[in-house]
Structure 1
């Protein structure tokens, strides 16, 4: 009889099999069954339904006095996605979206996640929370085969924005991450966000931007390859990955995911919290036409935010947060300010803001007209 693990290994493809076998032994699976039990029966439990990014599930900005156990459910889905016209990725995802959905809790709360690995999947998966303490962020306690589920609980001890990602061991870790398996958790201070002077800060809405670098192979004719399943894609994808040059750098899973009909929307006067994660590479977000009023560049709310940044830095494997009050209507471009990656590879989002134009902030004094170059403009030169 064919065992689940044998089927898993076979389905991944002959070329990938030695690597997968090695990866299964790459990280120790911890046994914590002998640890002293913890009695949390007095704590209130609440359930949060995760939503598809860039939106974020309902949550309070200021927490009740007592910590709670916040329950989430998340399903791992392997599926093909179209990153751009003609470019398809055999993706691995949390809850079917890239990035995985954002979770929000408060410092001192307990996060309790039930993680399902769909039986249709081919791969082992787990979850590593950068917000958690011990057991490789929970990765050593959550490794599940297709058709299995697991439940992990951890205490959110540090406020901030943090990446989570799949980390099943060895060379599987970078492959799963750049195939889409990363998301973000935000741990708010119990009394909410504060400005540098310690004054309360509130936001009207949250936009979650997950940035991904993809490595999609091409054939001898320069056309993007397409694969039958995620296992078949591994050898060719690994070759591109090891070259360290992404084929695409995108927000929320594909080129144009947050532009055009998919653009984000806000109103003049609204304060918007942008949470930006990148699980693999450094990036430099910038809001064209706006500023970072308050920026937690490394995403950690125990540290005072910086003010008035034009561009900020998100280190690979981390998430940052920026608050901006939109003062003018119009279309704002939110980009990775490596402009080659923003324009040519896809790392651009648009925010459409409704409202009334304020000429005091900016005015077109004269519309473009032709001028007499024989007499005008010469005084501009040194």
Structure 2
């Protein structure tokens, strides 16, 4: 694997700040070769970072006798080697064979039932960020606590509060169980009937509503990988695969607003960040409000487990590629570099 500019090295690969006339290191990428050479085998990985952007897992849906919606999920912890950059493999611990795990999505007030099966080689749990009883917290000392290999447990609680949340393993050592890949998104859409003062905003977030169809929504986990186990990351990414969205930009339509559900699951670094080029966004901290907690910003910083919702539009922009990435230069150069491809059929790209 080759990274263009920068002074970091991995596995003896050489870096250079000298300009080159050999053309882009990858077709369509011309930022002095700052990307990876080659392609990750998504089929072998069992997941595709582009599909992860929108593959919401809404569970098996039914109705309880009291009229409450029940959503049932199954989560299986398994050990699995994954490719995080071309030719760079990582011995992960996963939920359902992928990193991040499935992006669970439900509505505020739903009953959530998660059958957890530990088919891995170490004790694991699932800890959900949200409001629930102590016995459902997925931590040692409460309820069933640790689930040993070969054991199972069912977590059950009501989905609240609405927002952009996450789940992760809480076994010790916590830094290893999270870093190895045991985390995922937990999105709780607001119930518009509970928020009459912001009903239109709530409907725009409610999956399946007419108002929600007007948006382009994406889910991203910022993560990193310590490939030589020295408590320092060698690879950074959004949704696990380094440079995935630079090598294949994310297409967005100019006439539809964009919403990004963003979660930071990076270990061994105190913060990660998201920076959008040539545009600004409104930010909803933790996604637990229907009004922006930060307006007209182009960068947010998040510590581990912090998350939020970004909303922005490219309606009046020329078509073309607009960059977004971590604004720690090291992270960007080691994989957390991405592009949106703005599509506007009424204007020609410059």
Q: What TM-score do you get using the length of structure 1 for normalisation?
A: 0.64
After the TM superposition, which residues 272-351 of structure 1 pair with which residues of structure 2 at under 5 Å, given as runs? 272-279=258-265, 280=267, 281-292=270-281, 294-301=282-289, 304-327=292-315, 328=317, 329-342=319-332, 344-351=333-340
Give 2:222's aligned residue: 211
Larger radius of gyration: 1
Give 1:269's aligned residue: 255
Q: In the alignment, is the contact (CA less than 8 A) between 1:142 and 1:151 conserved in 2?
A: no
Q: In the alignment, is the contact (CA less than 8 A) between 2:314 and 2:342 conserved in 1?
A: yes
- Please say if 1:167 is aligned against 2:170: yes
Q: In the alignment, is the contact (CA less than 8 A) between 1:160 and 1:300 conserved in 2?
A: yes
CA gap 1:296/1:275 in 2 versus in 1, 3 angstroms: same
Q: In the alignment, is the contact (CA less than 8 A) between 1:288 and 1:333 conserved in 2?
A: yes
After the TM superposition, which residues 14-33 of structure 1 pair with which residues of structure 2 at under 5 Å, given as runs? none
* Superimposed CA distance per residue, residues 80-132 of structure 1 (whole angstroms, 9 cap, x where no aligned partner): 112224432111111222111211112211211112222xx312211110114
3-state DSSP class of the match of 1:269? coil
3-state DSSP class of the match of 1:284? strand
CA gap 1:136/1:303 in 2 versus in 1, 3 angstroms: farther
| Offset of residue 326 of structure 1 | 2.6
State how many pairs are aligned.
Answer: 276
Give 1:185's aligned residue: 186
Distance in 2 of aligned mates of 1:138 and 1:132: 12
Q: In the alignment, is the contact (CA less than 8 A) between 2:285 and 2:308 conserved in 1?
A: yes
Q: What TM-score do you get using the length of structure 2 for normalisation?
A: 0.70
Moved more, 66-75 or 203-212: 66-75
Distance in 1 of aligned mates of 2:245 and 2:95: 19
Distance in 1 of aligned mates of 2:114 and 2:57: 17
RMSD: 3.1
Distance in 1 of aligned mates of 2:223 and 2:279: 23
* Superimposed CA distance per residue, residues 299-330 of structure 1 (whole angstroms, 9 cap, x where no aligned partner): 32266443221112323212211112232322
* Superimposed CA distance per residue, residues 52-90 of structure 1 (whole angstroms, 9 cap, x where no aligned partner): 62223276xxxx9x6412111222221111222443211
3-state DSSP class of the match of 2:52? coil
Give 1:116's aligned residue: 117
CA gap 1:135/1:315 in 2 versus in 1, 3 angstroms: farther
**What runs of 5+ residues in structure 1 fail to find an aligned partner?**
1-50, 218-236, 365-382
Give the counterpart of 1:147 among 146, 150, 174. 150
| Offset of residue 192 of structure 1 | 8.4
Distance in 2 of aligned mates of 1:192 and 1:142: 36
Distance in 2 of aligned mates of 1:68 and 1:335: 38
Distance in 1 of aligned mates of 2:70 and 2:235: 38
Q: In the alignment, is the contact (CA less than 8 A) between 1:278 and 1:317 conserved in 2?
A: yes
* Superimposed CA distance per residue, residues 341-365 of structure 1 (whole angstroms, 9 cap, x where no aligned partner): 11x1111222222213659xxx97x
Give 2:52's aligned residue: 53
Q: In the alignment, is the contact (CA less than 8 A) between 2:258 and 2:312 conserved in 1?
A: yes
3-state DSSP class of the match of 1:337? coil
**What runs of 5+ residues in structure 2 fail to find an aligned partner?**
1-49, 205-210
